[in-house]
Structure 1
Amino acid sequence: MLRIHFTGQDLGLTRVAAGPVPMWETMLSLHSLRQQNQGLVPARWRRSVGPKLPRSTGLLTALVPTRGYFPDFLTPADPLYDLDEGLDAVLSTPRARLRRDLSLLAGGRRLPPWTRSLADGEPDAVTLLGRAVRGYHEAAIAPYWERIRAQVDHERLRVSTPMLGGGTEALLSALPPCLRWRRPVLEADYPVDRDLRLDGRGLLLIPSFFCWRTSITLLHHDRTPVLVYPVQHRLLEEGPAAQGRSSLAKLLGPTRAAVLEAAEGRCTTGELAQRVGILISSASQHATVLRNAGLLTSTRVSNTVVHSLTPLGSQLLYRGSVPLTLAEPGR
């Protein structure tokens, strides 16, 4: 678990990123590229991008393992919303930081020989990294960028709305179930046990499409600390997908079908109600019917109930439909 400790000053300085951050989405997508257990959304994306990936992608997978630490310098602390700016910041990393981050990475695994040249800041190695990032981004991220942006924008609106009436603590309370606000600490599901003390620097929250299940933060916080967390993925309804949703609504009823769709990606009863636009009591009743039908599972976490699709629910939801996601462009 990650525990993020706030002061009153930190609450005043906490904010949400203005949109998806290209370097974070690019690097985190390398996890989805190789992990097979993240669900239907990344599986469809993998099938779509796999044949298009440049050979240089292997350079990036050497730097970004499927689990554990990857170099901080690949995701600059300052939120840069343009790929060129983000890549320029990466390629301008001081040699001391390159050596620090790559030494930490090498401590847990064996690195290819070219990374020694990168750690020394040799121009050829730095140029090689830049070309690899750009080639991978063009093949795997750029074709889906507007869809990624739409999902991140939806999440920004979802968490910002409570903040208008309740301030930063209301925003923190509206974050997904993997994040829990227990004043003055924000608890986050995390692969290791760690404490992060903000000490008056505030926190930058970065909703991310390619962040899955648990949040991510930098090991070194030279500026404002950041916390990257997963958006709640939704489905795109167009073409054949719209027909599939129409059939599902006829089968289950429009509200219950909407509840089933809203449960994609795990959410609480309150989040179900918010997504569908119904009362919490109504959302609970519909979830009970869907659970009894074998389409949802419900798990109690502290004082809340978290719902998720069963394999049967996923099959019913996705039959004849296309995840928002990362369906291949133009299809």
Structure 2
Amino acid sequence: MGEVRFGVQDVAGVRFAVSPLWETVVSFSAVADPGRYAVHLPWITSVRPLWEDRALARRTAPLRVVAGADPLRPDPPGFLTPPPRCPLAEFEEELAILLAAPAPEPGMDLPGLEDALRAWWEAAVRPYWARIRAVLEADIAYRTRQLAEDGIQEVLARLHPTLSWSGDRLVSPDLAPAVLDLDGRGLTLAPSAFTLRCRLLTGPGPVPPAIVYPARAVGTLWERRGASGEGLARLLGRSRARLLAFTTSPATTTQLAARTGLSLGAVSQHLAVLRDAGLVTSHRYRREVHYATSELGDALMDRAQGGSADPVERPVAAPPQSAGRGGGDHSSRVRL
């Protein structure tokens, strides 16, 4: 049974973040051991040919050694997954933090590991990152609403069934059997699409530790409803019916435009109509607004076509984003 002990200052320093590096490492293990990751089988089926590609296998060989499927060590080694610091962190930023740390073992081939991580990210994770990140940010939006309604204690106690709040401590059998005193550093909460259980990540010095926990609604991550039935298209119009189908997982207007081929203006107009009709909901996170079907929208989709999920399409990778956002900790901080 592991425990994380809070002081007053630590409670004020709770924040949320996402980690593309963590998802990259753990997704690699998922493909290596698909039986433990049944919810991700559509994605695993889609990327399995990449795993078996000889050229990519050579590049990812160092990662296979340290993060491959091992029933005796189901979690990646700690040095490979430093605590995330920013909800908008990019893969290259987190990779730079990893490479700046001293090698955990003498003679470890960090350049080879860097290339392995970058190869797997580019081939198997980055093309799907917009979809994955939308689910993670939807989880964060849910937790922040919960904070406003119930307070930070309820947020911490309801992150995951294995976590509980006791006195001044967060307790879980998933964590290593030790007591970690936060010592005023605060704590980062990081939802994950690929993690199977809660995991405590620690770093050197004043870096806040992080608890990675399974995100909500991961079961919807790889769902893609087929073309809407003709009845629904006649009711809503073909474009709005398609948009409704693509909002079964949270998505921004930019993502929806890319998926449907509609212009950003058209997507915005159709979403406004769907939202006014109560078929989609929206929530803002920093500069982005994410749209998702409401309960009414889900019921309408299920009635129209039975709610079946299709195999995952491999999307076209988005253009590379700039690596730098400036220095410092840009984490989304909860202030009480």
TM normalised by structure 2 equals: 0.61
The reply to whether residue 7 of structure 1 matches residue 10 of structure 2 is: no
The alignment partner of 1:240 has SS state of: coil
The alignment partner of 1:158 has SS state of: helix
Do the aligned partners of residues 132 and 40 (structure 1) sit closer, same or farther apart at CA in structure 2, a change above 3 Å counting?
same
The reply to whether residue 88 of structure 1 matches residue 96 of structure 2 is: yes
Structure 1 residue 328: Cα displacement: 3.1
**Which residue does the alignment assign to 2:182?**
198
The alignment partner of 2:118 has SS state of: helix
**Which residue does the alignment assign to 1:77?**
83
Do the aligned partners of residues 186 and 71 (structure 1) sit closer, same or farther apart at CA in structure 2, a change above 3 Å counting?
same
- Tell me which amino acid in the other structure corresponds to 2:80: L
Distance in 1 (alpha carbons) for counterparts of 2:175 and 2:29: 15
Q: Deviations over 1:227-261 (max 9, x none)?
A: 11110214266442766xx9xxxxxxxxxxxxxx9
- Tell me which amino acid in the other structure corresponds to 2:39: V
Do the aligned partners of residues 318 and 65 (structure 1) sit closer, same or farther apart at CA in structure 2, a change above 3 Å counting?
farther
TM normalised by structure 1 equals: 0.62
The alignment partner of 2:35 has SS state of: coil
**Which residue does the alignment assign to 1:235?**
220
Structure 1 residue 329: Cα displacement: 2.2
8 A Cα contact 1:9 1:200, kept in partner: yes
Give the 5 Å matches for 1:140-219. Answer: 140-190=124-174, 192-212=176-196, 214-218=197-201
**Which residue does the alignment assign to 2:308?**
320
Structure 1 residue 135: Cα displacement: 0.7
Q: 1:44 aligns with which of 42, 45, 68?
A: 42
Q: Percent identity?
A: 29
Q: Deviations over 1:3-53 (max 9, x none)?
A: 222222211111111xx3111111111221222333433222221111123
The alignment partner of 1:117 has SS state of: coil
**Which residue does the alignment assign to 2:21?**
23
Do the aligned partners of residues 318 and 46 (structure 1) sit closer, same or farther apart at CA in structure 2, a change above 3 Å counting?
farther
8 A Cα contact 1:152 1:207, kept in partner: yes
Distance in 1 (alpha carbons) for counterparts of 2:33 and 2:175: 16
Q: Deviations over 1:234-293 (max 9, x none)?
A: 4266442766xx9xxxxxxxxxxxxxx9xxxxxxxxxxxxx9869xxxxxxxxxxxxxxx
The reply to whether residue 329 of structure 1 matches residue 314 of structure 2 is: yes
**Which residue does the alignment assign to 1:63?**
66
Please provide the CA RMSD for this pair: 3.2
8 A Cα contact 1:241 1:320, kept in partner: no
Structure 1 residue 195: Cα displacement: 2.3
Unaligned runs of 5+ in 2: 233-247, 249-292, 297-304, 317-336
The alignment partner of 2:92 has SS state of: helix
Do the aligned partners of residues 228 and 241 (structure 1) sit closer, same or farther apart at CA in structure 2, a change above 3 Å counting?
farther
8 A Cα contact 1:12 1:168, kept in partner: no
Do the aligned partners of residues 198 and 182 (structure 1) sit closer, same or farther apart at CA in structure 2, a change above 3 Å counting?
same
8 A Cα contact 2:189 2:211, kept in partner: yes
8 A Cα contact 2:34 2:44, kept in partner: no
8 A Cα contact 2:147 2:155, kept in partner: yes
The reply to whether residue 130 of structure 1 matches residue 111 of structure 2 is: no
Distance in 1 (alpha carbons) for counterparts of 2:228 and 2:38: 18
Q: 1:117 aligns with which of 98, 107, 115?
A: 107
The alignment partner of 2:308 has SS state of: coil
Do the aligned partners of residues 154 and 135 (structure 1) sit closer, same or farther apart at CA in structure 2, a change above 3 Å counting?
same
The alignment partner of 1:49 has SS state of: helix
8 A Cα contact 1:242 1:321, kept in partner: no
Distance in 2 (alpha carbons) for counterparts of 1:153 and 1:319: 24
Structure 1 residue 206: Cα displacement: 0.7
Q: 1:35 aligns with which of 28, 33, 38?
A: 33
Distance in 2 (alpha carbons) for counterparts of 1:188 and 1:235: 26
Structure 1 residue 79: Cα displacement: 2.0
Distance in 2 (alpha carbons) for counterparts of 1:69 and 1:149: 21
Unaligned runs of 5+ in 1: 103-115, 119-124, 247-260, 262-274, 279-316
The alignment partner of 1:37 has SS state of: helix
Aligned length: 235
Distance in 2 (alpha carbons) for counterparts of 1:218 and 1:168: 20
Distance in 2 (alpha carbons) for counterparts of 1:7 and 1:209: 29
The alignment partner of 2:213 has SS state of: strand
